Amino acid sequence: MNIVFDHAIDVANEELGLAMTSLKAEVNYGDAYHSYGKLCRMLETGIAGVFGPSSRHTALHLMSICDAMDIPHIYSYMSENSEGFNLHPHPADLSKALYSLITAFEWSRFIFLYESAEYLSILNELNSLFGMNGPIVTVLRYDMQLNGNYKPVLRRVRKSKDNRIVVVGSTDTVPEFLNQAQQVGIINEDYSYIIGNLDFHSFDLEEYKYSEANITSFRMFSSEKMVVKELMEKMGYTSAQDDFRNGSCPITVEMALTYDAVQLFAETLKNLPFKPVSQNCSQRTESVRDDGSSFKNYMRTLRLKDRLLTGPIYFEGNVRKGYHLDVIELQPSGIVKVGTWSEERDFRPERLAATNSQFDNIDNSLANKTFIILLSVPNKPYASLVESYKQLEGNSQYEGYGVDLIMELADKLGFNFTFKNGGNDYGSYNKTSNESTGMLREIMHGHADLAVTDLTITSERQEAIEFSIAILFLKPQKAQPELFTFMDPFSEEVWWFLGLSFLGVSLSFFILGRLSPSEWDNPYPCIEEPEELENQFTIGNSIWFTTGALLQQGSEIGPKALSTRTVASFWWFFTLIVVSSYTANLAAFLTIEKPQSLINSVDDLADNKDGVVYGAKRTGSTRNFFLNSEDERYIKMNKFMTEHPEYLTETNQEGVDRVKVSTQYAFLMESTSIEYNTKRECNLKKIGDALDEKGYGIAMRKNWPHRDKLNNALLQLQEQGVLEKMKNKWWNEVGSGICATKEEAPEATALAMDNLEGVFFVLLVGSCCALLYGAVSWVLFIVKKARHFKVPFKEAFLEEFRFLIDFNNYVRVLKSSDSIYSRSRQSSMSVGSIGQ
């Protein structure tokens, strides 16, 4: 929404020569108090209008403030509220659109499913439009339990005898409604839906495309409009993205209406200058703008047509008018426009009739003409022989996508046909000798009229089905376990830091053990005044204590001083997190198979990585692609295939069979054929992205007189979703379902420092604090001891420091003639008693 708002302002400034800027504030959804404070601070800076927020409750609260201040407030959701500026179609107008559609469909009874009470106004208006003789309507609230579980109501719908349903609800709930309706089993060929939500085009509808349910809805704009495409590019979407093909669009109605509202506001600002002034929420009477009402009234008198997403804008009172709605239908090919609705003309169907048309135009009719159609048999799924115990002859012996396509065209245009097996040689054309081979020769010499197979066409041909070249290879095989597999859960960086932490903590124990008086113990507890003390934290014991804690085994050594106990506590916390993370990730590495593929892209194939060789069909478009390519990689691959003709095959099926029996052979073929084979051969997989995009189509003689009629019929079949249904039949239904369609398990990844840097930081801070405390305690101990024995602090410090750095000595002699304390009158006092 930020991107849409900023882009709308930029467009308005550029087109109208204005200098509008935006002031934005994020507020908690539904928090009216928080929003009130934000709006008041904005008003103090001086603003000309307020857009949003998305929350209806909050927007109503802010609307009253803006109305009191005479500031235009613009919002973009369905509402009957007369205050503010709302470009969303009024509920009464949506009722008229639904009424027009229900009347055109001749529904005598239907179920009206609504989300909440605010949608009942649509039902009330519908009832008034139908009058006393309207259809029988069953009214149900689908969000009855207010918990997102619509299935109890949907089960009632399934048990009902009514199978025509009108659904009105918000953009937040309707997608989940469709999902649960499919789970309950009421999205199929027996049910018809009208979705009264203008964001239907932005939903993820992929799983409902092939349900055969009749799902109709409305939209305010088409993704084909240039201004919509520009906005999508600003939002980071490209026209090539698969997610938003076939009529769908990520731009919601709220975004589109906000964009249009900015254009309306800018047009008003151009004609009626409106200088922002500072206003105070606590002084509403004194802060009301003198020209605010004039600005708002002028805004309602405008009629705007240019630079808009949702069509012309004008107001009748407070209700937005001027727009028209596209009536859209979900088909296997995606969202298809089947009509339009406007308040002036009601519903006007624009659907292409899926009826026979052989007698529509008598002069150009192909009725009673007979064509010879060439097929490549066997070449699944395009054409193959029917498996039957009966002896089949003629056209009945063939089946496949190409066969069904010709039957559809014949049904539409009225011609007769005879199938003929043209073999596997599709043929090529030699410009120099003007000679052709294979199927092309048969057509050019008049022995056949059409060829239907996976035959590449030139860019001049008018066909709309896209295919591409890709790589077929064996699925990645499970890798052999390595010797040091147990190290996989952590990255190399983490192992290094773990080792350094281990050594650093061990060294901390060693140093703090020597610094802390409490760590020097009497080796003979029975002697009250020992002559020497021992320290348990030798370098070996320090490492042993750290190792025991890391391996969760403990040790017989117990820290006594506060500093050593602090380091121990932080080390125990550190090992708890690290060991838990290691154990969890190790389980993932041991349970999730890590497949290993020899090649992952066309570059690996071109370099013959790990000895993988490759080939293609000896003749045909795939081989010609490499022969004519100017890409260095493909030139290299063409050279390899030319030098090794033994890797080329006569048919695609031969190449597929070779891939199945070899672990070091890849086959290059059309991506649609690969898609067909991978759904039936569970050990095969497509590698990498498509190498080339090509068109496929029906071959015919140049300047064939019936070409235009055939192309028009193909376009109609595409618009009606027939081509998509046939593809779904032969690719996803017939002979499919052998391979389990389960989601691939996510690959286990080693934990890196980004995942564990926090616990390392805690350990570092804790160790540093303990070292600092130990050093300060050590100095204070020396000061206390020097005062007790009445010796200079400097000499006492030097003696203690020399002993501290004597790392080979872990025993301290208390009564030594060399000690500065031996000359003291209280030299018999033990160090332990001083440190108490």
Q: List residues forming the annotated binding site.
A: 456, 461, 621-622, 670
DSSP string, 245-259: -TT--S--HHHHHHH
CA separation for the pair 140, 151 (Å, rounded) = 12
Which two three-digit tokens encode residue 191? Answer: 């049910």
DSSP string, 317-355: TTEEE---EEEEEEETTEEEEEEEEETTTEEEE-PPP-S
CA separation for the pair 195, 324 (Å, rounded) = 17
Place of tokens 């054929």: 673
CA separation for the pair 375, 451 (Å, rounded) = 6
**Residue 376: which of 163, 650, 135, 568 has the closest Cα?**
650
Quick one: how far is CA 801 from the chain centroid? Answer: 63
CA separation for the pair 74, 27 (Å, rounded) = 17
Phi first, then psi: give them for residue 749, nearest 5 degrees.
Answer: -120, 145
Q: Are 115 and 126 in contact (CB under 8 A)?
A: no
Place of tokens 């113990």: 521
Angle between helices 562-591 and 753-789 (to 10 degrees): 160
CA separation for the pair 263, 49 (Å, rounded) = 13
Place of tokens 């027009």: 100
Phi first, then psi: give them for residue 141, nearest 5 degrees.
Answer: -95, 120
Q: What share of the chain is helix, strand, coil (3-state, %, to 5)?
A: 45, 15, 40
Straight-line distance from the first to the last Cα atom of the chain, in angstroms, rounded to the nearest whole number = 68
Pairing between β-strand 85-86 and β-strand 73-75 as defined by DSSP bridges: parallel
* C-alpha dist (Å) from residue 164 to 29, 100, 167, 174, 188: 36, 15, 10, 17, 12
**Contacts of 732-737 spanning 24+ positions with Cβ under 8 A:** 732/210, 732/679, 734/381, 735/380, 735/680, 736/679, 736/680
CA separation for the pair 515, 523 (Å, rounded) = 18
Sheet (strand 811-813) strand order: 520-521, 532-535, 811-813
Quick one: how far is CA 326 from the chain centroid? Answer: 27
CA separation for the pair 569, 575 (Å, rounded) = 10
Q: Count Cβ atoms below 10 Å from residue 82 Cβ, excluding itself.
A: 9
Which two three-digit tokens encode residue 257? Answer: 């209406």
Which two three-digit tokens encode residue 130? Answer: 């139908």
Place of tokens 């420092």: 753
* DSSP alpha helix (H) spans, 213-272: 226-234, 253-271
Could you list the residues known to form a binding site for L-glutamate, using ranges: 456, 461, 621-622, 670
> One-letter amino acid identity for 66?
C
Let me know the angle formed at the C-alpha of 689 by 730 and 666, rounded to the nearest 5 degrees: 80
**Residue 105: which of 355, 412, 356, 351 has the closest Cα?**
351
Let me know the angle formed at the C-alpha of 453 by 451 and 454, rounded to the nearest 5 degrees: 135
* C-alpha dist (Å) from residue 664 to 471, 649, 667: 13, 16, 10
Which two three-digit tokens encode residue 639? Answer: 């050279």
